[in-house]
């Protein structure tokens, strides 16, 4: 039987795989056009598996040389001579794996090129003697992005590409690089050193500016997930509604390949094959409670980039609408790491799993800075395994006034929503989770969906902006409750006017639904 795989390369005869044939055909078409490009996506986004699938598709028509810079160390990038020797050795290994003609292999073993000029001549000779057009694929290029020797190599490829198009050279049909970074707009970043082309001339602009834009969507769409689940279902006959489950998996992950496979693997191996909406929710809980390289990297990248962290905070907690502009460095960085995406022209966190994990990070960070860490979970709020949301909100109102005074008003206004999430986390931690509906997140309101056991609660968080907007909040919440087929909802309003600290907490009936209205 096949397995769901979350480590390394996925192969068809061993693993359940999403149907990415259309994506591979799109990339193959770029090769047919003779384009050079970079497949740049975040970690664990299926780049290596895509490389493998692409090589299989291209191998009948092209001589495909696939290699990687992973694990080669620093010595090959210490000088042009070292790099050329490493590159020649890698090509030999790749050719031997494909069963290529011995004469082609001997071109790279008889006399190792000592510099970029000789390497360029060797590439020309090799491509001229090959019976098929040659495609060069290099994986794991990130460690080389700021290395002068690698920049010289890119300059070589660029020069030969331009000369080929003028009919003056023979070189690779296509060159495909893969990594997290997009090096298309790479600039010389090493002061005092030069990028050289094949003729030893200095290159001042990007050595990879000849590369085409890579616009293929590498995420899994519901149809591609459905194909994978269908294959699984034909083996196990669980009775799942594969189409519904594929949509639900997509809702949580936005098609992030690792997250899709991880949730499937968890349901299959750890949750007794519970292929239901409930099973997916349980798999998400387990994922968020475990350490994983991907989720750890998300937080590490926020910690290492304070401006990116603040941007994500503004989006998630502040509800600010920030246009998606890759020219802005923080947005470009967040997109490169897979943390941010373009959501209808606005900058958004990539998926619900990342949102929840980042929210948990913000919650823990705020606990360290405030008295919320001392909140004791009341047995009355959790009784007989069920969450009493009404009591939870009432107690939050009282704790809110205990935690903050007028001197901390500015802090509480910026962090009010996070304060509630921090408070709520103390009750639902380990047994429930919450997420913010992206369509309702803005500076004035956001809808919070809280799952605890079999119960689901809809809580709208508002900032006070006058009586009319507060009345409008009832209608907004009613519409959302109606869409969710719920009859009860909760409205928590933060009122930062200077007024008596009198908490409002009452049930209100609005158009046949009950709304618990709390103001702090």
Q: Beta-carbon neighbour count of residue 263 at 10 Å? A: 26
The contacts of residue 215 (CB under 8 Å, 6+ apart) are none
Per residue in 34-59, pLDDT tens?
Answer: 999 999 999 999 999 999 999 999 99
In a domain, 49, yes or no: yes
238 and 375 within one domain = no
471 vs 498, residue with greater confidence: 471
Residue 421: what are its φ and ψ, rounded to 5°? -60, -40
Range(s) of the domain holding residue 250: 222-290
Which of 142, 174, 203 corresponds to the end of one domain? 203
- The DSSP call for residue 261 is H
Task: Find, among 202, 215, 196, the residue nearest to 155 by Cα.
Answer: 196
Asked if residue 461 has pLDDT above 90, the reply is no
> What does each C-alpha distance from 352 to 21, 249, 409 come to in angstroms?
26, 10, 30
Band (188; pLDDT cuts 50, 70, 90)? very low
Band (445; pLDDT cuts 50, 70, 90)? low
444 and 398 within one domain = yes
> Do 336 and 312 form a contact (C-beta atoms < 8 A)?
no
DSSP codes joined into one string, 109-153: HSS---SHHHHHHHHHHHHHH-SS-EEEEEE--GGGTT-HHHHHH
510 vs 319, residue with greater confidence: 510
169 and 138 within one domain = yes
> Do 324 and 343 form a contact (C-beta atoms < 8 A)?
yes
Q: How far apart are CA 38 and CA 34, in angstroms?
A: 13
64 and 189 within one domain = yes
Q: Which H or E run contains 175?
A: strand 174-179
In a domain, 458, yes or no: yes
In a domain, 164, yes or no: yes
Provide the 3-class DSSP secondary structure of residue 192. coil
Count of structural domains, the chain:
3
pTM for the structure as a whole: 0.86
Give the CATH number for residue 186.
3.40.50
% of the chain residues with pLDDT over 90: 58
Per residue in 251-284, pLDDT tens?
Answer: 999 999 999 999 999 999 999 999 999 999 999 9
In a domain, 322, yes or no: no
In a domain, 129, yes or no: yes
């Amino acid at each position: 039987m096949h397995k769901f795989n979350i480590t390394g390369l996925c192969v068809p005869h061993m693993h359940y795989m999403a149907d990415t044939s259309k994506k591979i055909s799109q990339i193959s078409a770029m090769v047919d056009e003779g384009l050079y490009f970079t497949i740049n996506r975040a970690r664990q986004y299926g780049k290596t598996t895509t490389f493998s699938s692409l090589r299989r598709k291209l191998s009948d028509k092209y001589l495909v040389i696939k290699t990687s810079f992973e694990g080669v160390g620093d010595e090959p990038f210490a000088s042009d001579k070292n790099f050329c020797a490493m590159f020649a050795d890698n090509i030999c290994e790749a050719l031997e794996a494909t069963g290529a003609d011995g004469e082609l292999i001997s071109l790279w073993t008889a006399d190792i090129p000592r510099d970029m000029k000789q390497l360029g001549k060797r590439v020309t000779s090799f491509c001229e003697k090959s019976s098929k057009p040659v495609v060069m694929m290099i994986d794991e290029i990130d460690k080389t992005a700021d290395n002068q020797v690698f920049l010289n190599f890119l300059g070589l490829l660029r020069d030969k590409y331009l000369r080929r198009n003028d009919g003056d050279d023979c070189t690779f049909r296509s060159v495909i690089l893969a990594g997290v970074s997009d090096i298309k707009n790479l600039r010389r970043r090493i002061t005092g050193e030069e990028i050289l082309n094949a003729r030893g001339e200095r290159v001042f602009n990007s050595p990879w500016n000849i590369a085409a834009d890579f616009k293929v969507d590498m995420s899994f769409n519901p149809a591609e997930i459905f194909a994978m689940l269908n294959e699984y279902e034909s083996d196990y006959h669980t009775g799942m509604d594969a189409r519904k489950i594929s949509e639900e998996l997509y809702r949580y992950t936005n098609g992030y390949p690792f997250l899709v496979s991880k949730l499937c693997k968890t349901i299959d191996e750890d949750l007794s094959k519970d292929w239901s909406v409930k099973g997916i929710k349980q798999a998400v809980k387990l994922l968020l409670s475990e350490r994983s390289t991907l989720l750890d990297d998300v937080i590490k990248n926020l910690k290492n980039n304070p401006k990116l962290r603040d941007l994500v905070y503004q989006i998630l907690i502040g509800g600010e609408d920030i246009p998606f502009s890759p020219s802005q460095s923080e947005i470009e960085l967040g997109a490169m790491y897979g943390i941010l995406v373009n959501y209808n022209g606005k900058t958004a966190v990539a998926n619900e799993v990342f949102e929840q994990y980042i929210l948990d990070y913000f919650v823990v960070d705020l606990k360290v800075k405030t008295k919320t860490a001392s909140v004791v979970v009341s047995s009355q709020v959790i009784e007989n395994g069920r969450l009493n949301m009404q009591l939870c909100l009432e107690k939050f109102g009282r704790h809110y006034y205990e935690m903050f005074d007028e001197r901390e008003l500015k802090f509480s206004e910026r962090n009010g929503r996070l304060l509630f999430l921090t408070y709520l986390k103390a009750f639902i931690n380990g047994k429930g989770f919450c997420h913010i509906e992206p369509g309702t997140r803005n500076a004035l309101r956001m809808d919070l969906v809280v799952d605890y056991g079999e119960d689901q609660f809809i809580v709208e968080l508002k900032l006070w902006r006058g009586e009319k907007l507060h009345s409008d909040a009832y209608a907004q919440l009613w519409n959302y409750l109606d869409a969710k087929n719920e009859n009860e909802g909760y409205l928590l309003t933060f009122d930062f006017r200077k007024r008596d600290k009198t908490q409002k907490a009452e049930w209100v009936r609005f158009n046949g639904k009950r709304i618990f209205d709390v103001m702090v």
